[in-house]
């Protein structure tokens, strides 16, 4: 049977586009189906959605020939984690792990645009925009995908990278387990008087963490986690009142703010698909898992899914055969489950009852005083195997 493509990917967000670029760079025929339009060049001020990319994610994106614009990437060399009352504190430095930096902070739209730019130059990739799947049916050596624009595509493997509300996951009948943290993350882009561009810090408070993610120039993205009610009340504040509230609640090290540039808030949930694979079908990124963003790992583990799947496809004989998909599920479910458990424990250890918070303090003390534990935590956060000796 002649298939339209080797692989069809549903969802051209950062994870789907990164997989398409890596496979296209290896001359594999890919169809990328995106509900929206192709992304437009980022312009003007920083966007609100920012993500950290760790060493493994950056290496994967760059292996596809994608070039990220240096002036919109902010490398960071230190991560400082502390309790706001000063009872626990741990400073992680990239140098201690023999690295120059931990990775970069980049706007989601800048990363997505850079990936799509790469796709334009890959002859084996075809992008189908402004369309979405209506139905899907598996055959023995491939799968059909009916789109809402009247077209039907076929491929040896169909990959769902269509985000937390994945249509492909639903069409394949794959359920999810989920949990609502009853918390929101308010993201606030600010201009700071102080330069603090090589460090990212996070302080835990009993109502949720507050964090500073550096951007290029004297810009920062602040993240203020709090209950639904408190965040909704904060959203009513004028920019000047919000600036004062930040200067009161955030640690002194942030210094004065020159201005609040933009803000928005997002609900915090965790979700995990019951299976990552079906017949000639795989789920990656938020379609497979959504984790608490306090450790900045959601996109990273999505890109690690794409990296693992890409290697199995590039080095295998039949993309989508059961053995490859089974290997993918085994490797990624274990790693993602560990990340879900870690972020969940962080949440409960630092925003739970007093005894739990004391345990949280103890874990920060331990990380600070036991170099091996600290190194393993840093390697885990970088997507590297913490049990592999140099």
Ligand X SMILES: Cc1cc2nc3c(=O)[nH]c(=O)nc-3n(C[C@H](O)[C@H](O)[C@H](O)COP(=O)(O)OP(=O)(O)OC[C@H]3O[C@@H](n4cnc5c(N)ncnc54)[C@H](O)[C@@H]3O)c2cc1C
Question: Where do contacts with ligand X occur on this chain (CB under 6 A)?
Answer: 10-16, 33-36, 51-52, 132-133, 161-163, 167, 185, 187, 266, 285-286, 293, 296-300, 302
Q: Which is closer to ligand X, CB of 145 or CB of 361?
A: 145
* CA pair distance 228, 184, nearest whole angstrom: 6
Nearest CA-CA partner of 101 in 81, 119, 80, 79 = 79
Q: Which is closer to ligand X, CB of 269 or CB of 327?
A: 269
Report the alpha-carbon angle 367-301-58, nearest 5.
90
Tokens of 154: 């076929």
Nearest CA-CA partner of 4 in 41, 30, 39 = 30
Residues in the chain: 390
Q: Which is closer to ligand X, CB of 3 or CB of 224?
A: 224
Decide if 280 contacts 158 (C-beta within 8 A): yes
User: C-beta of 346: minimal distance to ligand X in Å?
Assistant: 14
Q: Which is closer to ligand X, CB of 33 or CB of 122?
A: 33
Q: Which is closer to ligand X, CB of 266 or CB of 386?
A: 266
Q: Which is closer to ligand X, CB of 51 or CB of 192?
A: 51
User: C-beta of 116: minimal distance to ligand X in Å?
Assistant: 10
Q: Which stretches of the chain are DSSP H helices?
A: 14-25, 55-63, 108-120, 167-171, 228-235, 239-249, 298-315, 322-351, 354-369, 371-381
Strands 176-192 and 133-138: unpaired
Decide if 306 contacts 22 (C-beta within 8 A): yes
Q: Which is closer to ligand X, CB of 28 or CB of 339?
A: 339
Residues 6+ apart with CB under 8 A from 209: 202, 203, 223, 225, 294, 350, 351
User: C-beta of 331: minimal distance to ligand X in Å?
Assistant: 18
Q: How many CA atoms lie within 13 A of 127 on its CB side?
A: 24
User: C-beta of 22: minimal distance to ligand X in Å?
Assistant: 14
Q: Which is closer to ligand X, CB of 264 or CB of 323?
A: 264
Question: By CB neighbour count within 10 A (0-12 exposed, 13-18 middle, 19+ buried), where does 273 fall?
Answer: buried
User: C-beta of 86: minimal distance to ligand X in Å?
Assistant: 25
Strands 143-147 and 74-76: unpaired
User: C-beta of 161: minimal distance to ligand X in Å?
Assistant: 5
Q: Which is closer to ligand X, CB of 23 or CB of 361?
A: 23
User: C-beta of 177: minimal distance to ligand X in Å?
Assistant: 17
Decide if 292 contacts 197 (C-beta within 8 A): no
State how far the alpha carbon of 330 is from the alpha carbons of 101, 311, 325, 333, 346, in Å: 30, 15, 9, 6, 25
User: C-beta of 297: minimal distance to ligand X in Å?
Assistant: 5
User: C-beta of 190: minimal distance to ligand X in Å?
Assistant: 16
């Amino acid at each position: 049977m002649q298939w339209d493509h080797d692989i069809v990917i549903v969802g051209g967000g950062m994870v789907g586009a990164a997989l398409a670029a890596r496979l296209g760079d290896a001359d594999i025929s890919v169809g990328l189906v995106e509900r929206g339009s192709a992304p437009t060049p980022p312009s003007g001020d920083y966007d609100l959605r920012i993500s950290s990319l760790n060493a493994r994610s950056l290496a994967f994106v760059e292996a596809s020939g994608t070039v990220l614009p240096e002036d919109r990437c902010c490398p960071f060399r230190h991560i400082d984690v502390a309790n706001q009352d000063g009872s626990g504190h741990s400073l992680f430095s990239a140098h201690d792990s023999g690295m120059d930096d931990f990775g970069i902070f980049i706007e989601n739209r800048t990363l997505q645009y850079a990936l799509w730019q790469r796709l334009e130059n890959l002859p084996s990739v075809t992008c189908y925009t402004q369309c979405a799947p209506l139905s899907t049916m598996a055959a023995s050596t491939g799968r059909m995908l009916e789109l809402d624009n009247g077209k039907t595509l076929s491929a040896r493997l169909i990959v769902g990278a269509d985000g937390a509300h994945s249509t492909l996951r639903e069409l394949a009948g794959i359920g999810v387990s989920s949990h609502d943290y009853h918390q929101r993350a308010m993201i606030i882009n600010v201009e700071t008087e102080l330069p603090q561009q090589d460090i990212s810090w996070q302080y835990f408070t009993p109502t949720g963490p507050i964090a500073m993610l550096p951007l290029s120039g004297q810009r920062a993205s602040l993240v203020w986690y709090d209950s639904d009610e408190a965040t909704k009340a904060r959203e009513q504040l004028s920019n000047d009142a919000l600036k004062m509230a930040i200067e009161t609640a955030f640690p002194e090290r942030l210094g004065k703010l020159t201005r609040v540039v933009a803000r928005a808030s997002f609900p915090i949930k965790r979700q995990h698909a019951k299976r990552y694979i079906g017949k000639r079908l795989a789920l990656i990124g938020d379609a497979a898992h959504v984790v608490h963003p306090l450790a900045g790992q959601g996109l990273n583990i999505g890109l690690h899914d794409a990296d693992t799947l890409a290697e199995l496809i590039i080095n295998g004989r039949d993309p989508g055969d059961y053995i490859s998909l089974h290997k993918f599920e085994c490797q990624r479910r274990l790693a993602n489950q560990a990340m879900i458990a870690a972020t969940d424990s962080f949440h409960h250890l630092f925003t739970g009852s007093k005894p739990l918070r004391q345990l949280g303090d103890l874990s920060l003390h331990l990380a600070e005083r036991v170099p091996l534990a600290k190194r393993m935590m840093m390697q885990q956060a970088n997507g590297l195997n913490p049990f592999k000796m140099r």
